[in-house]
Chains A and B, each alone.
Chain A
Amino acid sequence: MWKFIVRRLVITFPQLILLSVLIFLLAQAMPGDALTGLVDPNIDPATIDEQREKLGLNKPWYEKYIEWVGGVFQGDLGQSFRYKIPVTDLIEERIVNTFWLSVATLIFTYMIAVPLGMISGRYNDTILDSSITGYTYIGFATPLFIFALVMLWIFGYHLQWFPTGGSVAPELKPGTLEYVLSRIQHLLLPALSIALIQTVSTVQYLRSEIVDTKQKDFIITARAKGASESRVYNRHILRNSLLPIAAFFGYEITTLITGTIFIEQIFSFPGMGQLFIESVLQRDFSVVNAVVLLFGAAAIVGALLSDIILSIVDPRIRIK
């Protein structure tokens, strides 16, 4: 097992290098640069030229790449042009927000998915099942950015149960209990909005797994041995049905840092998704490169985690 993990990590390495070259070239191929947006009569073109020179934007791409990679190895991802602070600081600032939002989202997702999936699978082809499946289809069809707007409108502005934007109330001091509570309160609505939509695929997975598992021979055996119906479902069927979801969990973990662009914009919640899209639109290359590299690394690690989780929970799968 350890051998496997090490081997996988070794393979990851060239993948990351390839990824970094690709990102770098693609970013360079975008028209314009961070200074294009400064076409403004209040700003002197000579100043812009000077800054371009200072930022090294006029150098050929391979020189820039080597400089960048050199920095990455020393843990220096460069300076954000737009924010004028080191990219690592910027990412640190945002990743915390995204992380907690994703944790809340994951909790909600599973809190909704597991009971609904179980009910739906256990009582399949009943009205209850149909309404749950109906919900999942609507969930599949509803675009998140519209759903989030509707949620915000109803629960944020109309009923005023939740704050309408930001990650925390502006006037609170970090470290106090109020601050923590305010942060949690700010997380609820965006997390719930994502979870209600995102959960539907998990519900469907779980449902079909349960429907599938309950016809297996070992379930009949369990029933024949006199196990109660609830024991059959909770111990025998659920456990076996959770396998694919456990495998999926590894991938879900990658979303902990990638963030959700729509939600972040609608709720003015500064996170990684927003940082990414902004940096692309504003040609803040150092940020684009760093963020994509991070996302890429997360995806690779997530896939690895999935494999490991699967091998732990399912004794039939053994990694050699």
Chain B
Amino acid sequence: MRTTHVSKWLLALMFFMFLVLAACGNGSGDAIYSIEDFSENASTEGEAIDGGTLNYGLVTDTTFEGTLNYNFYSGSFDNEIIKWFDESLLSVDKNHKYTQDGAATFEVSEDHRTFTFTIRDHVNWHDGEPVKAEDWAYAIEVIGHPDYDGPRYDSSFRNIEGMEEYHNGEVDSISGLEVVDAKTLKITYIEGTPSLLAGGIWPYALPKHIFEDIPVADMSASDAVRKNPIGFGPFKVEGIVPGESVSMTANEDYWQGPPKLDGVTVKVVNPQTIVQALKSGDVDTVDSFPTDQYADVETELTNVEFLGTVDMSYSYIGFKLGTWDKKAQEVKPNPDAKMADVNLRRAMWYAVDNEAVAKQFYNGLRWNANTLIPPSHPDYHDSSIEAPTYDPEKAKQILDEAGYLDTNNDGMRENPDGEELIINFASMSGGGDIAEPLTNYYIQAWKEVGLNVQLLDGRLIELNSFYDKIGQNGDDAPEVDMYQGAWSVATDVDPSSLYGRQAIFNFSRYASEENDRLLEEGTSEKAFDPEYRKKVYSEWQQLMVDKIPVFPTLYRSKLVPINKRVVNYSIGADFMGLHEVGVTQEKTFKAE
């Protein structure tokens, strides 16, 4: 009889748990948000107290690598730590273009090839040594060194005169690099392009007096990077617990003035507990907040303000129009590719309702995209370009006119030659619970207009295999006809690393002379004129909308919650006031 007793209790318990679980599932709000309603700057007003410690969370379920130097790091979380104690010598504006407000100023020569940089006085490393021109030159020499093991050596370095010879070990010094005096550095580039002004110059210095004695190959593993990193930023590293936290104190000698805060603690917070950590005031702010959780928790988190900005990325759908020619190291368009007809691609763009996707899946925190330059580059993004938006009738009409008709009455269109048309769609797993329904939605939408699109392999593909298949190594899988991906964009607007003829990341393998011309114009000397550059990239955006090698689907937002005790904080690209960030009270606010 006891057994029945127990089982009754068990049943009750299970029922209770079921209710709890069911309640959990109901949290999702239906509200629709817009990035326009978010500000980049914390709105808290009030007097900051003298001191206080800011708690900064890194939202990740992994650890951070701990390569704490701009010249060597590769993980984005390391970057989030370094930015508190070191900084770029050059400041940037909203378009990520260098300005004259940073720790160094610069002059450009007539031919746009020679840059002369002057480091301000009072810019000192944390150990009191002044930041010198030779420290800056040293950073460039180390990155260009054959033994360097970080990911930063790229075309912008190869553009420095004499760099290739130095990198190949033929000469001992870089001819384009000249230390004029203690505070002045002159760099000569092979080509003067406007890209130089938007991320094309290496703006980080490396303290030579510390790194001098370390062989280049051992630098990234050295204590000077991992245990006692220094910089010239507003805070100094005090202690590091590997993989989990870093504590910093104010650098009273900071060149923009002493920071208001006493210190900053950066620590890893698991994405599953981030909401709790914010609610209880355990962290003041985080590097970025999972936007898909926003709708569920927005009302609960009464103690924080959400800041928002346009993320430097977009989602897109790409069509395979060729292959990669490994010998020539360039794309090889195939005019007979299954997706070669632009009308077919255009119809597929008309067939999908990205506005609805944005609202249904992302509560409006992503939104319909029109061009391949996202609004995170406000000067270059052309919002006036009219790209196809959801219109299934139009899609059908285009397909009818292009000869894609249902000739065998199976409900699906055949190609103009009357052969069966099956389009293989590769899609990546990850991105939470949304990836699968989203992919299914797209396939369904294309079916509505009569196109037989099949999910490649019948399932979502894991990230590594996905990029192998669509050709990150140049081995494009022939079975892929189209794919769904996302790009984060560089600080420079120049899209040739993603769509150029020589770009291996040009996964659609599209190339045309007009495209080559525009991409070249965009980085030509003439394009130093901002109006001209704008015009070129508007034309390029229009070209991509006309030719559709890929079509953008959604732009994304980035949300950052911040405790209401924090003042003067901002997530804008041009923010350089970390030393002015303060708190209005010793303790964080907790949610009621």
- In Å, the complex CA distance between A239 and B150 comes to 59
Choose one: B72, B149, B465; the contact of A54 (CB below 8 Å): B149
Q: Are B246 and A170 in contact (CB under 8 A)?
A: yes
- In Å, the complex CA distance between A22 and B497 comes to 39
A36 located at the interface, meaning its Cβ lies under 8 Å from any Cβ of chain B in the complex: yes
Closest B residue to A164 by CB, please name it: B282
Closest A residue to B245 by CB, please name it: A170
Q: Are A170 and B462 in contact (CB under 8 A)?
A: no
Q: Are B464 and A165 in contact (CB under 8 A)?
A: no
- Choose the segment among B272-280, B377-385, B432-440, B444-452 that binds chain A (4+ C-beta atoms closer than 8 Å): B272-280
Closest B residue to A265 by CB, please name it: B61
Closest A residue to B504 by CB, please name it: A45
A236 located at the interface, meaning its Cβ lies under 8 Å from any Cβ of chain B in the complex: no
Known contacts A170-B245, A170-B265, A278-B62; A82 and B75 CB within 8 A of each other: yes
Known contacts A85-B226, A86-B221; A32 and B464 CB within 8 A of each other: yes
Q: Nearest chain B CB to A29's CB is how many angstroms away?
A: 12
Mask for B492-506, Cβ within 8 A of A = 1, else 0? 000001100001110
Q: Are B241 and A283 in contact (CB under 8 A)?
A: no
Q: Are B467 and A36 in contact (CB under 8 A)?
A: yes
- In Å, the complex CA distance between A149 and B273 comes to 8
Known contacts A41-B487, A45-B505, A166-B268; A84 and B151 CB within 8 A of each other: no
Closest B residue to A79 by CB, please name it: B221
Q: Are B276 and A153 in contact (CB under 8 A)?
A: yes
Interface size on B, residues (CB 8 A): 64
Closest B residue to A137 by CB, please name it: B10
Q: Are A31 and B246 in contact (CB under 8 A)?
A: no
- Choose the segment among B63-71, B418-426, B559-567 that binds chain A (4+ C-beta atoms closer than 8 Å): B63-71
Closest A residue to B494 by CB, please name it: A41
Q: Are A84 and B464 in contact (CB under 8 A)?
A: no
Mask for A263-286, Cβ within 8 A of B = 1, else 0? 001111110001100100001000
B89 located at the interface, meaning its Cβ lies under 8 Å from any Cβ of chain A in the complex: no
- In Å, the complex CA distance between A86 and B239 comes to 22
- In Å, the complex CA distance between A166 and B463 comes to 29
Residues of A within 8 A of B491 (CB): 42
Choose one: B154, B241, B246, B464; the contact of A46 (CB below 8 Å): B154
Q: Are A152 and B273 in contact (CB under 8 A)?
A: yes
Q: Are B154 and A41 in contact (CB under 8 A)?
A: no
Q: Are B226 and A164 in contact (CB under 8 A)?
A: no
A217 located at the interface, meaning its Cβ lies under 8 Å from any Cβ of chain B in the complex: no
Q: Are A93 and B463 in contact (CB under 8 A)?
A: no
Residues of A within 8 A of B489 (CB): 41
- In Å, the complex CA distance between A278 and B151 comes to 20
Residues of B within 8 A of A283 (CB): 464
- In Å, the complex CA distance between A51 and B149 comes to 7
Q: Nearest chain B CB to A123's CB is how many angstroms away?
A: 13
B269 located at the interface, meaning its Cβ lies under 8 Å from any Cβ of chain A in the complex: yes
Interface size on A, residues (CB 8 A): 58
Known contacts A45-B505, A274-B62; A36 and B277 CB within 8 A of each other: no
Q: Are A157 and B151 in contact (CB under 8 A)?
A: no
Q: Are B241 and A31 in contact (CB under 8 A)?
A: no
Within 8 A of A (CB), among B241-275: 241-247, 263, 265, 267-270, 272-273
Known contacts A41-B498, A164-B273, A167-B244; A36 and B239 CB within 8 A of each other: no
Mask for B95-109, Cβ within 8 A of A = 1, else 0? 000000000000000
Choose one: A31, A130, A270; the contact of B244 (CB below 8 Å): A270
Residues of B within 8 A of A229 (CB): none
Q: Nearest chain A CB to B19's CB is how many angstroms away?
A: 15
B193 located at the interface, meaning its Cβ lies under 8 Å from any Cβ of chain A in the complex: no
B161 located at the interface, meaning its Cβ lies under 8 Å from any Cβ of chain A in the complex: no
Q: Nearest chain B CB to A148's CB is how many angstroms away?
A: 10
Mask for B408-423, Cβ within 8 A of A = 1, else 0? 0000000000000000
Q: Nearest chain A CB to B79's CB is how many angstroms away?
A: 11
Q: Nearest chain B CB to A111's CB is how many angstroms away?
A: 26
Q: Are B243 and A134 in contact (CB under 8 A)?
A: no
Q: Which of A37, A43, A83 has the most CB of B within 10 A?
A: A83
Mask for B1-21, Cβ within 8 A of A = 1, else 0? 010001001100100000000
Choose one: A38, A171, A267; the contact of B74 (CB below 8 Å): A38
- In Å, the complex CA distance between A118 and B560 comes to 53
Interface set of B (CB-CB < 8 Å, partner A): 2, 6, 9-10, 13, 61-63, 65-67, 72, 74-75, 149-155, 199, 220-221, 226, 238-239, 241-247, 263, 265, 267-270, 272-273, 276-277, 279-280, 282, 462-465, 467-468, 472, 487-491, 497-498, 503-505
**Given A37-B463, A171-B263, list of 7 further CB < 8 A pairs?**
A31-B465, A47-B153, A51-B151, A153-B276, A165-B269, A166-B267, A170-B267
Interface set of A (CB-CB < 8 Å, partner B): 30-32, 36-48, 50-51, 54, 79, 82-86, 89, 93-94, 127, 130, 134, 138, 149, 152-153, 156-158, 160, 164-168, 170-173, 265-270, 274-275, 278, 283
A-B contact pairs, 17 of them (CB 8 A): A31-B462, A32-B464, A32-B467, A42-B199, A45-B504, A46-B155, A47-B151, A82-B65, A83-B67, A149-B272, A157-B282, A158-B280, A172-B239, A268-B269, A269-B244, A278-B62, A283-B464
